[in-house]
Structure formats: C-alpha cells, structure tokens
Amino acid sequence: MVFFETPGKPDAIEKKALEFNEAVRGSMEDGVSDRAMSDAEVPLLKELIAIAFGKDNLARPSPEAYTLLSSKLLHWPTPQLFPILDVIRMLALNAYAAKHLSSSAANASFNLLLSLAASTAGPPDKVPAPTRLMALRLYTNCFRNTDMRSYIAQHCGEVLASVQGSAGFSNAQVQLAYASLLLNIAVHSRDAGTEATLNTPDVVQAVLSGGAEFLHTPAATTPPLADSKGGSEDAVLRVLCALGTLLVDKDERLSLARELRVPEAAGAVAGAHGGVKVKECAQQLLALFAHDEYRAHNKLLERVAEFAEWAGMDLCVLKCEATGYNFRSKSEMPIALIKYRGQQL
C-alpha cells in the first residue's frame, strides 16, 4: 500500500485555517457563521495541528479538540474545508487518534467518513481541487492503521461514490491521490479474502469503473505525465496495479472489465506511454484478458504435441517463434502465454 505521510507546513496550515475561520464567521449564509471557532477554541485547533504534524506519535488530542472537529470544523463549507482535512490526514497516522476517530462511540453522534463523503462529493466544477485532494489523501491514509482500515472498509461504497469523477480533475496531485486510494482498496480487498466488505460487487465495480475512467483520460497516455495537464506517471502505474490486483485469478470480473473497455485502455497506454514500468504493467494487465483467448491456441498446440509424439517426431522450440500484434490498440500481444510442451515459443 501507499500513504501520504509527508507533513505540510504547520504554520501555513494554521494561518489558512484561521483565515477561513474569519470567512466562516462573516458568512451571510444561514447557519454557517455558527460553525466558526470562538477565540477560546482557537488553542484547540493549534493543539490538533501540533499533534498532527509533530514528531510525538504517542501524543493524544484532548476530548475538547475532538469535539471542536465534529461540532464545527468539519462542518465548514466545502471550499474552506481543505486545511482541516490536511490535519485529519495526519491524525489518521497517529495510533491513538486513529483509534478514536474510528471508534463506534465517536461515530455514534458524528460519522467522520460519511460526513466527509457527503460534503466533498461532486464534479470538478463543484469541488475545489485542494478539498478533493485532501479528502483523497485522508481516505488513502485510513488504510495505514488497523482500526481505520476496518472503519473505511465498512464505508468504502460511500467513499468511492463521493470521489467519483476524480479522474476528470486536471490537477496531477488529485489524480495521484485518487490512484493511490484505488490501489489501497484493491490491495486490502486481496489481502482480506473473499469475505471482506471490499469484495462486494458494488465496491469491485466502483474500483474497476474508476480505474477504467482514469485510463480513458488523456492523463493516462500523454507524455511526459509530469505536469498538471498530462497527469502523473506514478498515478497511471498505480491505477494499472489496482486493476491487475482486482482481476488476477478472478475470471468472473474480466467480463465486467471488458464492458468498461479496460483492455482497450490498457492497450492504448502500452502503445503510447514512454515509461518502461508503465508499459510492462499495462502489458501484464492485457495478459490477464488474453489468457482466455490463448487457451484455444495452447489447446491446439497440445494436439500438435500429441501427434508429434505419435508420429515419432517433434518440433524444435528453439527454431519456432510466435508473434502477434493488436492493430486496434497498436500494441504487441503478450505471446508469452503461447507455449509448446511448457516452453515459450
């Protein structure tokens, strides 16, 4: 799994949060100004920031600080929410904070993930990129701690629904965070086994659909994949790994992936991308779909081997070669799956 563990600048986050607090206080929208911190509550925000970005992993936020989060800070308008999400992103890595945030007692009156899923959902024109970015990083970090991992697994369907359309953001960091979330879900789904909440049809479909959507965007094929317009090479690689993790040894999921045109997208990435690792990963993903197609070829070669044995003659594999090219995706076919007597042609 991958996580976002690099802390931001505490002073800058505190400054931005206090600036937004004044904006919330002065809001004319009904009920919004009530969510602003009082002067007496500001030290609680500073306490949360100090613990979230400090080096003491054993530090514990006070009950009053948690109350401030659930009663006010996490109810700020979506555009002002991102510095608070950045704080919780780091708190999710703190064992004591993670245990509290995921506890049934804390979520009885305020469910953190469901609240965030509702307040940060929407297309790029409705949700500012910084807010979506920090929400995605928070969800990704939830897989670091055992308690938070179980917590997000219970609400994974709602979380995935809330971040739908993240592939459409032109921000490279949003794309990378989205790809990281899909990868962590896929890995946990594999590790947790068939009874895991993450293996429900809805969750599997959401991950496959999100990954397919990403691979069909220009960000997946536009080199050099390093700026805000072209996306991130790491993001493409993580999406390919997520899809492969979900599909390997899961033949029943391949038909859904075909409906989502994952093979065509992977083929386009393999044909257009300049990164060696991305090309290799895309080709390995294509090989999963090619497996069924090559069964017939291998069956034919089994018959050839039987005839050769009956006739007292055999093929010299060293003098044989198999080639293939997919003209639709403009990529070489994974002929490594074609074998004669267990040897690759």
Q: What is the pLDDT of residue 330?
A: 59
Which residues, given as ranges, of the chain have pLDDT below 70?
194-198, 223-231, 274, 291-296, 326, 328-334, 337
pLDDT in tens, 70-100: 999 999 999 999 999 999 999 999 999 999 9
Q: Tell me the three-class secondary structure of the chain, residue by residue.
A: CCCCCCCCCHHHHHHHHHHHHHHHHCCCCCCCHHHCCCCCCHHHHHHHHHHHHCCCCCCCCCHHHHHHHHHCHHHCCHHHCHHHHHHHHHHCCCHHHHHHHCCHHHHHHCCHHHHHHHHCCCCCCCCCHHHHHHHHHHHHHCCCCHHHHHHHHHCHHHHHHHCCCHHHCCCHHHHHHHHHHHHHHHHHHHHHCCCCHHHCHHHHHHHHHHHHHHHCCHHHCCCCCCCCCCCCHHHHHHHHHHHHHHHCCCHHHHHHHHHCCHHHHHHHHHHHCCCHHHHHHHHHHHHHHHHHHHHHHHHHHHHHHHHHHHHCCCCCHHHCCCCCEECCCCEECCHHHCEECCEEC
pLDDT value, residue 225: 43
pLDDT at 94: 93
According to the model, what pLDDT value does residue 31 have?
Answer: 86
pLDDT tens-place string over residues 230-258: 447 899 999 999 999 999 878 788 889 98
Q: Model pTM greater than 0.85?
A: no
